[in-house]
A and B are shown apart, each in its own frame.
Chain A
């Protein structure tokens, strides 16, 4: 029998001698070439975790609303359905959804709860393409995408079933075409192609959400003003500024015209969106000129987590991104103003300017939130847009960083921890969150029964929307005119659905159960019961 001689560990060479330098380079090339797909795989794993964490049974308010809008467009075949819910801010995401339903034959809930989150992984490649154009570096672009994927606020909005997935993809594409168009100014055919595709994408963006369309215009307008100030006060910063300013001014006007046409001539429900701006000036004046205490729009946000330290820990990736990107942005701006450095090209200049635009918009959103306007938590809503530009800004600084091996390892561990925190926060894990988003099959069974056996009744279904959102996603709105109520004190509530989970959730949120649970138990499926309040007068039923 042949035996192999044992090789002492100490005598092993650092690298296998028969592996040539050429082969090693080839292996390294393969690894580098695989990195974009590896990051897509990572995004797929995140999306799969989001779906599997609750076995596909998750829902929240915006997902439910968009699902109802998809259902009404699908059932009526109308762009503006005459019955059911119409999404007033735009039809784009709804239209894409019904096109997928028509081709694939899948159910609406399967699309919204299972396939939709998995589709979010596709955002990695557009982000990579844009960041490479903005930073002129494949390495920086990769770092930026990793930074974006550890942002819980970004993950949550693109994984859930709202219009944001479509919106973010179109935003990345619009910015990509904008940056690329500056590169090809000297080639008319390519330039025209980029410009036409840019306006096609911007139309789709506005048609998906007119409010975000406005936000895009405002950001570009802020960039125009910044460029104008720079070229007036510091004309020697970068020779490309006047051309940039002229082009962006034209874009602002063109996008405004598209938005105006969309609201007033193409999609009537969008006019409702304008009402959100009603009275904002009065509210702003009230905020600045009175001393009355107002409710904080952020109370709900922080109250949604088990404790304030946990909230801050989970949000640490967000704070690091904000602080880090501000430092890089300020340093870059300072060096450019001093004349110690110049933008490497239109991409880098646009990144700096767009970052400024979306950061200013974030500050305006904070002021708007404090006025208590109709669109609460605007700052939270505008953060993903800011994060999409803050990630490459911070990555620009990190790409120059060459840490010691031990520090590199520590950074890797930190990024891993931030990724875990982002996942916990984006999935509203009950370990850390009070705003649960999952439900059980038994709860759906009970909801089906109570909806089928009640008419125009106010029914308590738990302290947050998770059960009713799940019912809306799986079955649609109540066909019998029943009203789902989350506040136990409402006197009109005569029927209550109660499961162990709803009980635990009420305890977690320190909310009382409605008085109806002391009444007659009229339904039981083992895990969920339905209660009806005992009449106290002959006029009650």
Chain B
């Protein structure tokens, strides 16, 4: 038995348990991802391939890796069906525990099969020769390069490129708080109130000012408004449109940190009914 435990199946058991522990006790993200991917996509199939073909010489590394990957998927799919019928369902903890248990069970079967002294080896005269593994240094270099590309890509996209660029959201909502029910028909001289919002995602505090304009004519102004980074401001601004064309645009210009020309622009079309 000691002989059996010295083989790679003992390593498989250690990695499977470590992946299980990392998942259940919320281990460091990078370690959890690395161990988790191995535990789901490789270990169950590797154990099953080892149980089905116990001699190391039965499969070369290409075929054994192939079987490890594909049989892992097949076992997960069967296990998911069984778990789906059980009272636990496909919840996080049952998924982790049952797959780890299944992997260990199959690894135990493989270990027992490997311990049998008289096991027949696969003989196939007409197949191409096994694919040799490259030497230690070359192998490490190639695996290191592949790993660097994979984890470099994951780190770059997951950590850096997913972050929002610094920006400010400026919006107007109707009386229900939704992007509807805006005032659209008013009488000349009637006071209009609209709800405005500013969301600061600039990663730094910013000072804003809102100017309401009818063409080039200022109707109202709000500010300065100091909004902390990650915070929002909502408030109401009132104005009274003068006589003029029936359908006209009312502009809402947001200025940031005193910069001229406006930082954000909104526009509401108003039908000033009595001017017809």
Interface residues of B in 34-72 (CB under 8 A from A): 35-37, 39-41, 48, 52-53, 58, 62-63, 65-67, 69-71
Contact pick for B161, options A32, A44, A56, A494, CB 8 Å = A56
Interface residues of B in 67-103 (CB under 8 A from A): 67, 69-71, 73-78, 80-81, 84-85, 89-92, 95-96, 99
| B7 beta carbon closer than 8 Å to chain A | no
Contact A36 B62 (CB under 8 A): yes
Binds A, one of B116-124, B204-212, B220-228: B116-124
Contact B37 A104 (CB under 8 A): yes
Min CB–CB distance A517 → chain B (angstroms):
11
Contact status of A522 and B70, CB under 8 A, knowing A104-B36, A114-B154: no
Interface residues of B, count at CB 8 A: 99
Contact status of A95 and B52, CB under 8 A, knowing A104-B36, A129-B62: no
Contact B184 A184 (CB under 8 A): no
| A475 beta carbon closer than 8 Å to chain B | no
| A385 beta carbon closer than 8 Å to chain B | no
- Listed residue (A36, A170, A450, A521) with the most chain B CB atoms within 10 angstroms of its CB: A521
| A61 beta carbon closer than 8 Å to chain B | no
Min CB–CB distance A391 → chain B (angstroms):
16
Contact pick for A103, options B77, B96, B127, B143, CB 8 Å = B96
Interface residues of A, count at CB 8 A: 104
Contact B157 A30 (CB under 8 A): no
The binding surface of chain A is classed by DSSP as: helix
A521 vs B268: C-alpha distance when bound (angstroms): 6
Contact status of A110 and B158, CB under 8 A, knowing A29-B132, A34-B142, A522-B179: yes
Contact A105 B153 (CB under 8 A): no
A37 vs B36: C-alpha distance when bound (angstroms): 23
Interface residues of B in 10-47 (CB under 8 A from A): 19, 23, 26, 29, 32-33, 35-37, 39-41
| B134 beta carbon closer than 8 Å to chain A | yes
Min CB–CB distance B228 → chain A (angstroms):
18
- Nearest-CB residue, chain B, relative to A450: B179
A170 vs B151: C-alpha distance when bound (angstroms): 25
Min CB–CB distance A117 → chain B (angstroms):
9
Contact A57 B161 (CB under 8 A): yes
Contact status of A170 and B70, CB under 8 A, knowing A103-B32, A522-B179, A534-B184: yes
A115 vs B99: C-alpha distance when bound (angstroms): 21
Min CB–CB distance B153 → chain A (angstroms):
4
Min CB–CB distance A50 → chain B (angstroms):
10
Contact pick for B76, options A95, A118, A184, CB 8 Å = A95
Binds B, one of A154-162, A197-205, A373-381, A411-419: A197-205
Interfacial chain A residues near B267, Cβ < 8 Å: 520-521
A454 vs B178: C-alpha distance when bound (angstroms): 6
- Nearest-CB residue, chain B, relative to A77: B89
A33 vs B157: C-alpha distance when bound (angstroms): 33
Min CB–CB distance A216 → chain B (angstroms):
14
Contact status of A189 and B120, CB under 8 A, knowing A33-B133, A38-B142, A442-B167: yes
A131 vs B75: C-alpha distance when bound (angstroms): 24
A197 vs B81: C-alpha distance when bound (angstroms): 18
Interfacial chain B residues near A291, Cβ < 8 Å: none
Contact status of A79 and B131, CB under 8 A, knowing A56-B162, A103-B39, A200-B74: no
- Nearest-CB residue, chain A, relative to B142: A37
Contact pick for B167, options A33, A79, A101, A527, CB 8 Å = A527
Contact status of A173 and B62, CB under 8 A, knowing A78-B84, A183-B126, A520-B267: no
> Which 9 pairs of residues, A with B, have the shortest CB-CB distance?
A79-B84, A103-B36, A173-B70, A56-B157, A95-B80, A104-B36, A55-B161, A204-B74, A77-B89
29 contacts across the A-B interface (CB closer than 8 A): A34-B134, A34-B142, A38-B142, A45-B149, A48-B152, A56-B158, A73-B90, A77-B89, A79-B81, A92-B80, A98-B90, A98-B95, A100-B40, A102-B23, A103-B23, A103-B32, A103-B36, A105-B33, A129-B66, A132-B127, A136-B126, A183-B126, A184-B124, A345-B126, A442-B165, A445-B167, A449-B171, A524-B265, A532-B180
> Which residues from chain B sit less than 8 Å from chain A, CB to CB?
19, 23, 26, 29, 32-33, 35-37, 39-41, 48, 52-53, 58, 62-63, 65-67, 69-71, 73-78, 80-81, 84-85, 89-92, 95-96, 99, 120, 122-124, 126-129, 131-135, 138-139, 142-143, 145-146, 149-150, 152-154, 156-158, 161-165, 167-174, 177-182, 184, 201, 247, 254, 263-269, 271
> Which residues from chain A sit less than 8 Å from chain B, CB to CB?
29-30, 32-34, 36-38, 40-41, 44-45, 47-48, 51-52, 55-57, 73-74, 77-80, 91-92, 95-96, 98-106, 110, 113-115, 118-119, 122, 125-126, 128-130, 132-133, 136-138, 141, 166, 169-170, 172-173, 176, 183-184, 187, 189-190, 193, 196-197, 200-201, 203-204, 207-208, 266, 344-345, 441-442, 445, 449-450, 453-455, 457, 494-495, 519-527, 530, 532, 534-535, 541
5 extra interface residue pairs, beta carbon distance < 8 Å, beyond A101-B92, A104-B33, A520-B267: A47-B153, A52-B157, A100-B40, A122-B41, A132-B128
